[in-house]
Amino acid sequence: MFAYIMRRLIYMPFILLGVILITFMLFQMTSTPETQAKSYIGEKTSQRQIYDWLENKGLISWTDTGKQKIEATANGKLPPKSAHFVAKSFLENTPIELQEFYDEAESMQEDVDDLLSEQEVSADDIKMAVAKTRKDEGLPPLGSAEAKEAKQIKTEANASIFANVEAKIALLQATAKDKGDKQLIEEFDELRGKHGDLKNESITLAQKWQKTIDGARQEQLILTLGYDVFATAKNYASTNAGLQSTKKRLSALEAIFANPAALQVELDSESDADKKAELRTRLALAKEHFIDVVAIETTIQTAKAENKDTKVLEKQLADAKKAINDGKEELEDTRKDLAARTVDVAKLREDGEIATAKMTAAEKLVKTEIVSFEDIEADFTYTNAFTKFRIYLFDIFNLRFGDTLNSRPVMSVIYDGMWPSLMLTLPAFFLAELIGVFFGLFAAMYRQTKIDTSIIVSSILLMSINGIALIMFGQKFLAADLNYFPVTGFANGIGAVRFLILPIFLYIVITFGERIRFNRIVMLDETNQDYVRTARAKGLGENTVLFKHIFRNTLIPLITRWAVAIPSLYLGSLVLESFFSIPGLGYMTVDAIQNSDANVIRAVVVFGSISFMIANLVSDVLYAVADPRVKLS
């Protein structure tokens, strides 16, 4: 037996390795290294943090361009948020993928040509249809010098492929329509649909490609131009914007004091055109903002002279004075602000203007130099799949499962949720099994009697009722109406017991029917065996036959059942946990699946397979204990 156990223990790591390999493959298929990095270091992380993490993990290695870029971003010379890193595999694979789409479109073109000849569509019609579509798509007519030149450019050539096929399919459809052949129309519809999908996918990929390449070009441009120039230009631009905004505010504040009447006089007497324009602007502002205290005061005097109520006017005057005072204070501050900003701008202007000029010139230069995608250099390469798997494996063996989407460590979530789940499912399972075995024996004892029939009927009845319905009924009737149990809730420690009794009871009831059916059949099956007849013939009592012989032999199928069920107990029971607010793993797992929380799912799968293997081994040992005929060798 010892040798057997040892052998099984030696197999275990390999099985586990297989499971981990499967999860690894699923992980690679459903996520990128970048998204995996985010699941460890948080969703809101910068590109640099992601690639730092991937580099530390050994999942990428930098090229010289990449290193140069990192240095530039670290020194603040390259705008970090817009800096994005381009993978070698992306640069290499995307053109191939795009080409595959174009090849497929070309092959479709051949098929369509065959169909056209089958349908006996004339060459002139085809030409006309293609010419029309090309015109609609904004492509030059076929055969023209312009078209020949345009064909040199890859994208135009590819657009042509799609346009030609599209035109031909439309023509085919029109022909089929004329013939009134419904089946053909449907076939061409399908063809059109396929072609549309192909085109859309290629466009999406090409757009993504273009976006990345544009970003990479921009970065290469910045790198080529020199970082200081860029930083100065940027600084100048932002400081200048601040200055303009302060100026604008200052004008608005000054307008509070600028009397429009006086300005109008000044404007009328001014002859210089530039000054006139400036005065006009000031006048417009003054008309909008000017607060005329004198006018209000005069109105008050007049009103007083006429013995009228001046309360409202006086309040107006007070408000106006207050606004003027506030304006004065703010004007002072703004002037100081303006002075400081003007100095800054003056300092930066010269550098900035030179920088902007340099940048424009260099941009032109670089633009002419970068003419094709191939000029873009990769920043990093991904490590090969084997290294990735090694790292993945190492993380799992060190129980590093990362964080959940809610930024909690997966291990702590599993640990916290596991105990409430086990508190529910362990006693529920063992009690249910105990009762199941008892009723199995009971049914065997009273086989072919009314008691046996009533057991069968009740078990079928319970199996027919939906588990959720039983839970809802049990909760309402036993907890809410009869007050035997708390309706819902959970507590830590021993206090949890009172909250768990009803869910445990309901678990037993829900699984009762299926268990009894199984156990009864297993027991009855044994009852009909020869050894049972022999035992009875020997004159052994029914109790001895039942408990000593039959029961022992039924243990093998029972142990097999347990081996399957026990490992998943730690996952709890989703519905019961949900209805009774038990903070277990069942709900968390479903939640994780719904939210695509890959780290939690991975941990659950790995722990599930470990516990399953252990349970399997234990069940093998138990076979040998239960049945001396079983030899573990």
Nearer Cβ to other proteins, position 302 or 412?
412
Nearer Cβ to other proteins, position 61 or 310?
61
CB of 249 to other proteins, least distance (A): 7
| CB burial of residue 32 (10 Å; 0-12, 13-18, 19+) | exposed
The one among 228, 336, 489, 514 contacting other proteins by CB under 8 A: 489
Angle formed at CA 628 by CA 622 and CA 633, multiple of 5 degrees = 75
Nearer Cβ to other proteins, position 66 or 566?
66
Nearer Cβ to other proteins, position 78 or 563?
78
CB of 266 to other proteins, least distance (A): 22
Judged by CB under 8 A, the stretch of 5-13, 241-249, 275-283, 389-397 that binds other proteins is: 241-249
CB of 147 to other proteins, least distance (A): 26
Is residue 319 close enough to count as binding other proteins by CB under 8 A? no
Separation between Cα atoms, residue 504 and residue 474, nearest integer Å: 11
Contacts of 609 (CB under 8 A, 6+ apart): 15, 16, 19
Separation between Cα atoms, residue 241 and residue 321, nearest integer Å: 32
Do 403 and 409 contact (CB within 8 A), yes or no? yes
Query: 64 to 83, contacts with other proteins by CB under 8 A?
Result: 73-74, 76, 79-82
The one among 427, 486, 557, 608 contacting other proteins by CB under 8 A: 486
The one among 401, 429, 587, 623 contacting other proteins by CB under 8 A: 587
Judged by CB under 8 A, the stretch of 146-154, 238-246, 382-390, 558-566 that binds other proteins is: 238-246
Nearer Cβ to other proteins, position 153 or 497?
497
| CB burial of residue 143 (10 Å; 0-12, 13-18, 19+) | exposed
Do 131 and 142 contact (CB within 8 A), yes or no? yes
Residue type at position 425:
T
The one among 501, 521, 565, 630 contacting other proteins by CB under 8 A: 501
Query: 187 to 216, contacts with other proteins by CB under 8 A?
Result: 189, 192
The one among 23, 39, 212, 246 contacting other proteins by CB under 8 A: 246
- Which residue matches tokens 């529920």? 428
Residues touching other proteins, count (CB under 8 A): 80
For residue 354 the two structure tokens come to: 């030179």
Query: 382 to 441, contacts with other proteins by CB under 8 A?
Result: 405-407, 409, 412, 416-417, 438-439, 441
Query: 337 to 356, contacts with other proteins by CB under 8 A?
Result: 337
The one among 105, 223, 229, 256 contacting other proteins by CB under 8 A: 256
CB of 122 to other proteins, least distance (A): 23
How many Cα atoms occupy the beta-carbon half-sphere of 436 within 13 Å?
A: 26
Angle formed at CA 230 by CA 226 and CA 235, multiple of 5 degrees = 150
For residue 293 the two structure tokens come to: 């205290």
The one among 71, 326, 350, 353 contacting other proteins by CB under 8 A: 326
> In the beta sheet, which residues pair with residue 61?
381
Is residue 472 close enough to count as binding other proteins by CB under 8 A? yes
- Which residue matches tokens 């009172």? 498
Is residue 183 close enough to count as binding other proteins by CB under 8 A? no
Backbone angles phi, psi at 482, to 5 degrees: -95, -10
Q: Give the torsion through C-alpha atoms of 54, 60, 65, 67, to 10 deg.
A: 50
Q: How far is CA 600 from the centre of its chain?
A: 14
For residue 90 the two structure tokens come to: 């992306």
For residue 228 the two structure tokens come to: 């200081």
Judged by CB under 8 A, the stretch of 264-272, 294-302, 519-527, 593-601 that binds other proteins is: 593-601
Nearer Cβ to other proteins, position 310 or 544?
544
CB of 86 to other proteins, least distance (A): 19
For residue 584 the two structure tokens come to: 């277990």
The one among 383, 387, 488, 611 contacting other proteins by CB under 8 A: 488
DSSP state of 87: B
The one among 136, 194, 596, 625 contacting other proteins by CB under 8 A: 596
Do 21 and 389 contact (CB within 8 A), yes or no? yes
Q: What is the pattern of x (binds other proteins, CB under 8 A) and - over residues 502-541?
A: ---------------------------------------x
Q: Give the torsion through C-alpha atoms of 386, 392, 395, 399, to 10 deg.
A: -130
